[in-house]
Structure 1
Amino acid sequence: MELRHLRYFVAVAEERHFGRAAARLHVTQSTLSAQVQGLEREVGGPLFARTSRRVELTEAGELLLPEARRALAQAGRALSVARQSVSGEVGRIRVGFSGVAALHGVLAADLHRFRRAHPGVEIGLTELPPAAQVEGLHDGTIDIGYCPDLGLDTADGLSVTPRARTSLAVAMRGDHALAAGAFVTADQLRDLDLVVFATHEEEATVTSHLPAGEGHRARVHAVGGTLGVLALAAAGAGVAVVPAVTEHVSLLDLTYLPSRGTDGPALVSVSRTDELSGAVRAFVDCQTDAP
């Protein structure tokens, strides 16, 4: 049974006349009759009692009519949902993000712009370290990533889009020896215990943004989350080299100073180059259109 058989049947049932039904469907009466007869053969009996002036539904036809209408309506809804998915009007997007992306504002701005244009799309957010975002894009657990570019291993199949530049600050306990200064230099950081963002598990690469040749001779504590980094710094475990926008987070006993002589990593978004989801493609397009 094909959907067109049901459409032809419903038209005849509603018009009670093969000629009017054929005109409504823009087919010849002979074509319509052949299709209805084919449906009757499949059902195993007549659906219409035919007279010279009109047709009437048989008992089988009366029972089939509401079911046929429901099947056609459901097929229409299915086609509409599929079309909306392809165009990005419906669907779900899973976004992985680092804390700096949320604090910077670029993530919120992208989400706001996309939700205004595509209110029917569901958005899920998960805070992840940068390397875990790359893994999530490869294994399909997230669709878009926002993170600082700390030497990301994107390999083939991923597209990286620079979204903003970041500067660095140094967070420390308020009674630290450097807290009374106006800023912190790379030379001062060289011999201090550091608390840094981990790109994944215990791998930390933020120290690569210290000037080449300076080296680092003290301990490095690698932490995967923004609040964890700041909590250790406030506890006196070391000083934290963080994006300057992290200063929006205020913790008891925590002081921020500008970092001199160090450039912060770029804030980037990462997505799959062969993305099939219409909603995700629409989100990437909204990023491209960002001011």
Structure 2
Amino acid sequence: MKKTILAILLFLKKRSFLGRAFIGMIAVGLLFNNFIPDFWFGVSVKNPKKLTIEEICTTPLNKLPLYFIVDKAQPLKIMQRASQHESDSLLKKLGNLPADLFVGIENYCYLVETKIKNNDTTFSGIYYPVYSEKQVHDSPNALASNLVSHVIIHDTKITEHNLENNKYFKDSLFQISGKFSGTTIGDESYKLLTNNGYNISKNAIVLNKGSHPMSITSSALWILFDVVFVLLLALSFLPLVLLFKIFGIPANDTDQNPQGFAQVANNESLS
């Protein structure tokens, strides 16, 4: 066992100092931002709770659960004037109606998020504010600029195909839920939404839709794997002389011939 661990350490030691440090930071970030929070969520909460927007607004940020469902809420729908092509198509289906009649089409309000890839913009997700049913009921036919949103949904797992004909929002399994970012909306997202005509509260929160809590067993296993991996990375920064001493394996001239000792360790592990 000692020889196997030492062989792993010698393998890691061949990687660059900065490379190991970078991988270590990622592993620690995953541990404290994903695996441990999901484990405690599973232990304490178990299943995502339902919270209304009114409840969300009156609950301190540090008291909001990691995952939750936004209850009695909906994205904003507005009536848009149909294009000539859409109108002609609908008129054919509906029969002999006045030629100048343009039928309104109900669409959901969302903002497409893009990123630069290979020197071109590509689809990467959508943002859409959600509102309490009471808000929408009290302000019929309101525009996005008329209603203040306190909850923003960010979905990076959606595809452009899902958005065709509002399939995404009309899906029978559609639910306003996700993982809470832990803070209020960031400046970049706030500017992006307000610059596109949305009325966003400075205290609005963001839910990352499509993120689901891991089971207690899965998160515990990932925590164990992550901790062991980080410890191995940390040990790989120790001098070879000290590593061989820790594992009780005799070595000579370790400073002068590290590759030779890596070979020795490999040979010993095979014997």
Shorter-chain TM-score category?
under 0.3
Structure with the greater relative contact order (CA < 8 A, sep ≥ 6): 1 or 2? 2
The normalised TM-score by structure 2 is 0.21
Structure exhibiting the larger radius of gyration computed from Cα positions: 1
